[in-house]
Amino acid sequence: MADGAEEFRKMQHALDIPCLKPGAMEGLQPFKAKPEHQEKVGMPGELVPDWKEKALEKMAELGEKNRAFKVYLDACVKCGACTDKCHYFLGTGDPKNMPVARQDLLRSVYRRYFTFAGKYFPWLVGARDLTEDVLEEWYSYYHQCSECRRCSVFCPYGIDTAEITMAAREILDRVGVGQKYSNEIIGKVKEVGNNLGLNPKALRATLEDLEEDLEDDTGLAVRLPLDEKGADILLITPSADFFAEPHIDGLLGYAKVFHEAGVSWTISSYASEAANFGLFIGSYENMREISLRIRKAAEDLGVKRIVFGECGHAWRVAYSFLNTLAGPFDFLDQNYPIPQHILEFTWNEIEQGNLKFDKSQNDHIRLTYHDSCNVARASRMGDMPGGQFEIPRNVIKAVCNNYFDMDPDTIKESTLCCGGGGGLLTDDLMDLRIKGSSPRMTALQDVTEEHGVTHMAAICAICKTQFSKVMPKFGYDMDSVVSVHQLVSNAIILTGQDDDDDADTGPEEETSDE
């Protein structure tokens, strides 16, 4: 239970409970959105004069439109089951990062204005007035939650702090206090089609370069098609897959799998983004607008299926919400899941014996797997509950010889967030991101000590970016995080490909400049 210096805590165990450090993360805030960012998400540009009325109005509206919000504000009995479940609390010790305390920041105001007890006996039930300080406190602590839902697994009533965080962010947006990172990105998606603001020309050039690399590598014309009408499959993947490491190696993996499976597929420049930050800010309308781009792309290109690339929250929106937001998809081939995850696709091909692998291509690494929070606790793969845990592991084991799971209390439904999800993957929150990742990093260090694990695979663009940034702080190289389809790409033997002897080094080692 050591209390360290200012540095991130070196934990004895991944789930060690810290002593409370009130105010430890007080005042930490991400940059606020500028008026031009706010307008693009349909929110006022700056704090509106009647912010208090507007905030309470929005709160009342949420109570009428969202059952989760209403029930969760009422039902909490403060049992404390969730208090030690948040990675940000474990990493920072700030009591307001305990899920129940985070909810209480909003619940206390809800009680004051909307419940009998709070109206007449505020001191008894911990109710308080809505003031500008409270607004600032909300902005601070509702941007120290990655909406990972770990707390909801352990709550006896299933109270999901993510729902409260999303509600709080929506209220803040509504009064003109938005987060720059998320809202700016949503604006880019609406304008250009992806989070990066990568225009169709640049995207085409990038994909063509990658096709050349693939041809150099394999001697085969493995394609990365863009905007090809009549293709069977529309691939929706996070735009980080087009340029970031190790994401891009995953993209090459998808291309090889599609190639070997002999299916026709395409990327869309109009919907060149799987990520949907509308989720992070709790905005149904923004989430819907972004989702409808995917529907439009599918209709315009005349595809039969939609497959999503490796992205955690995107898969939540795709799996759980796409049908709601942009359905019904009766124009697609009903014989396939709508939408389908790339890992479901790849695993099907493996099961049918359509892919050949040389597992020894991954022998230079010893591997573990990080369950991404949104995939683990807010979606599924395959037909059986829990397929979201089994299918990625099955694929990894099919292409790697050395695989080891981390502590069972830190994987699958109990998985720890990478520390950068939910719209927190921004440099202005780096301190929080490092501290929030320390439980996961500690669990990783354990398997490194025990089994000599060198690399961790992930299937989420945010996890990959976050880990490549924070892993060096914990004694790992930044390329110690790998895409699952990067491993597939390393091991797959394409029909008719050049001999592999040119690959004397591990394929993913060649791009680690910087």
Partner 1 sequence: MLGVIYAILFYIATAIIVVGVAMRIRSYARTPAPLKIPTTPAPTTGWGVFWRMVREVLFFQSLYKSNKWIWLFGWMMHMSLWLILARHMRYFIFEVWWWVEAVQFAGTYASFTFLIGLGGLLFRRFAVERIRYITSPSDILMLLLLIGIGASGTMMRFVAHTDIVSVKAFILGLSRFHFGHLPADPVLLAHLTMVITLMIIFPISKLMHAPGVFFSPTRNQIDNSRDKRHLAPWAAELEK
- Binders of partner 1 among residues 78 to 97 (CB under 8 A) are 78-85, 95
| Neighbouring C-alpha atoms within 13 Å toward the C-beta of 403 | 18
List, in sequence order, the alpha helices (H) in 400-460: 430-451
Q: Site residues for partner 1, window 416-475 (CB under 8 A)?
A: none
Q: What is the distance between the terminal CA atoms of the chain, rounded to a whole angstrom?
A: 37
Distance CA(58)–CA(391), nearest Å, equals 41
411 binds partner 1 (CB under 8 A): no
Neighbours of 400 (CB within 10 A): 26
Q: From 214-222, 244-252, 266-274, 376-384, give the range in contact with partner 1 by CB under 8 A.
A: 376-384
Which residue, 311 or 471, is less far from partner 1 as judged by CB?
311
DSSP 497: P
Among 309, 339, 423, 439, binds partner 1 (CB under 8 A): 339
| DSSP-assigned letters across all residues of 131-151 | -HHHHHHHHHHTTS-----HH
Q: From 77-85, 178-186, 243-251, 449-457, give the range in contact with partner 1 by CB under 8 A.
A: 77-85
Q: Site residues for partner 1, window 312-331 (CB under 8 A)?
A: 319-321, 323-324, 327-328
Residue whose C-alpha is closest to residue 196's, from 255, 82, 272, 286: 272
Q: Say if CB 45 and CB 102 are below 8 A apart.
A: no
SS3 label, residue 164 = helix
Neighbours of 201 (CB within 10 A): 9
Q: Site residues for partner 1, window 472-491 (CB under 8 A)?
A: none
Q: Site residues for partner 1, window 238-277 (CB under 8 A)?
A: none
Which residue, 37 or 85, is less far from partner 1 as judged by CB?
85
Amino acid present at 61: E
344 binds partner 1 (CB under 8 A): no
Which residue, 27 or 80, is less far from partner 1 as judged by CB?
80
Q: From 205-213, 214-222, 282-290, 433-441, give the range in contact with partner 1 by CB under 8 A.
A: 282-290
Amino acid present at 362: N
Among 12, 23, 60, 67, binds partner 1 (CB under 8 A): 67
Q: Say if CB 492 and CB 360 are below 8 A apart.
A: no
Backbone φ and ψ for 265, nearest 5 degrees, come out as -150, 170
Distance CA(185)–CA(272), nearest Å, equals 13
278 binds partner 1 (CB under 8 A): no
63 binds partner 1 (CB under 8 A): yes
Cα-trace Rg, the chain = 23
280 binds partner 1 (CB under 8 A): no
* Cβ 154 to partner 1 shortest distance, Å: 4
**What are the structure tokens assigned to 379, written together?**
């979606």
Q: What x/- string results for residues 8 through 47 when contact with partner 1 is judged by CB under 8 A?
A: ---------x-xx---------------------------
Backbone φ and ψ for 179, nearest 5 degrees, come out as -95, 130
68 binds partner 1 (CB under 8 A): yes
Q: From 114-122, 187-195, 261-269, 391-399, give the range in contact with partner 1 by CB under 8 A.
A: 114-122
Which residue, 324 or 512, is less far from partner 1 as judged by CB?
324
Among 28, 125, 263, 478, binds partner 1 (CB under 8 A): 125
Question: Which whole-number Å values give the CA distances from 349 to 37, 241, 257, 383, in the listed order?
Answer: 43, 22, 8, 16
Distance CA(21)–CA(4), nearest Å, equals 12
Q: From 37-45, 146-154, 210-218, 444-452, give the range in contact with partner 1 by CB under 8 A.
A: 146-154
H helix or E strand, kind and range, residue 167? helix 161-174
Q: Site residues for partner 1, window 197-236 (CB under 8 A)?
A: none
SS3 label, residue 368 = strand
Which residue, 37 or 149, is less far from partner 1 as judged by CB?
149
Among 8, 51, 72, 369, binds partner 1 (CB under 8 A): 72
Helix%, strand%, coil% for the chain, nearest 5: 55, 5, 40
CA 308 distance to own-chain centroid: 13
User: Residue 296, class by beta-carbon neighbours within 10 Å (0-12 exposed, 13-18 middle, 19+ buried)?
Assistant: middle
Among 3, 50, 116, 221, binds partner 1 (CB under 8 A): 116
Size of the site for partner 1 (CB under 8 A): 71
* Cβ 150 to partner 1 shortest distance, Å: 10
* Cβ 57 to partner 1 shortest distance, Å: 16
Among 59, 88, 104, 167, binds partner 1 (CB under 8 A): 104
Contact partners, residue 324, CB within 8 Å, separation at least 6: none
Among 353, 385, 408, 496, binds partner 1 (CB under 8 A): 385
H helix or E strand, kind and range, residue 457? strand 455-458
Which residue, 180 or 190, is less far from partner 1 as judged by CB?
190
124 binds partner 1 (CB under 8 A): yes
Residue whose C-alpha is closest to residue 181's, from 270, 280, 92: 280
115 binds partner 1 (CB under 8 A): yes
Q: From 34-42, 109-117, 356-364, 487-495, give the range in contact with partner 1 by CB under 8 A.
A: 109-117
158 binds partner 1 (CB under 8 A): yes
Q: From 23-31, 196-204, 380-388, 490-498, give the range in contact with partner 1 by CB under 8 A.
A: 380-388
Which residue, 14 or 155, is less far from partner 1 as judged by CB?
155
**Sign, Cα dihedral of 496, 500, 501, 507:** positive
369 binds partner 1 (CB under 8 A): no
